Amino acid sequence: MAHDVHTHVKSQTEYEYKRRRSANEMRSHLTTFAIMIFLTLVSFTAVYAGFSANLVVPIILLLAAVQVILQLYYFMHMSHKGHEAASLFLYSGAIVGFITVLTMITIVWW
């Protein structure tokens, strides 16, 4: 096949470095998870607390956006190298999606 895979056997040092790096990354994923749980709890509490809708709605939408960004950039690795195409596709989808929601709401409600 034209595209061959070169197998590189790591030395003990390289191997230990890789393991340590991925263990560190896993620890940061756990932190991300804790933040996501916390954001979810804040959202639900804000709704339970019964503040005015004009205050709570923007807050929970913002928290949802933050949580989605964490999910995309850390759990789905968009922060890693080689995700230019991935970002292009996802942001294009998000922009079209945003315009769709905006258009539909303005047409129906105004």
Partner 1 sequence: MDLNTKYTPQSWPDHPENTTLEGKNKFVGFWLFLGGETVTFASLFATYLALKNKGPSGMEFTTQGLFELPLVFIMTMLLLTSSLTSVYAMYHMKNYNFKAMQAWLMVTVILGAAFLALEIYEFSHYVHLGFTYGQSAFSSSFFTLVGTHGAHVLVGLGWIILLMVRNAKRGLNLYNAPKYYLASLYWHFIDVVWVFIFTVVYLMGVIG
Distance between CA 84 and CA 78 in Å, rounded?
A: 9
* Contact predicate 47/60, CB 8 Å: yes
- Distance CA(45)–CA(35), nearest Å, equals 15
Which residues contact partner 1 (rule: CB under 8 A)? 1-5, 7-10, 15, 18-19, 22, 25-26, 29-30, 33, 36-37, 40, 43-44, 47-48, 53, 56-57, 60-61, 63-64, 67-68, 71-72, 75-76, 82-83, 85-86, 89-90, 92-94, 96-98, 100-101, 103-105, 107-109
- The C-alpha atoms of residue 56 and residue 49 are separated, in whole angstroms, by 10
Shortest Å, Cβ 62 to partner 1: 10
When the beta carbons of 4 and 79 are compared against partner 1, the nearer one is 4
Q: Which is nearer to partner 1, 5 or 79 (CB)?
A: 5
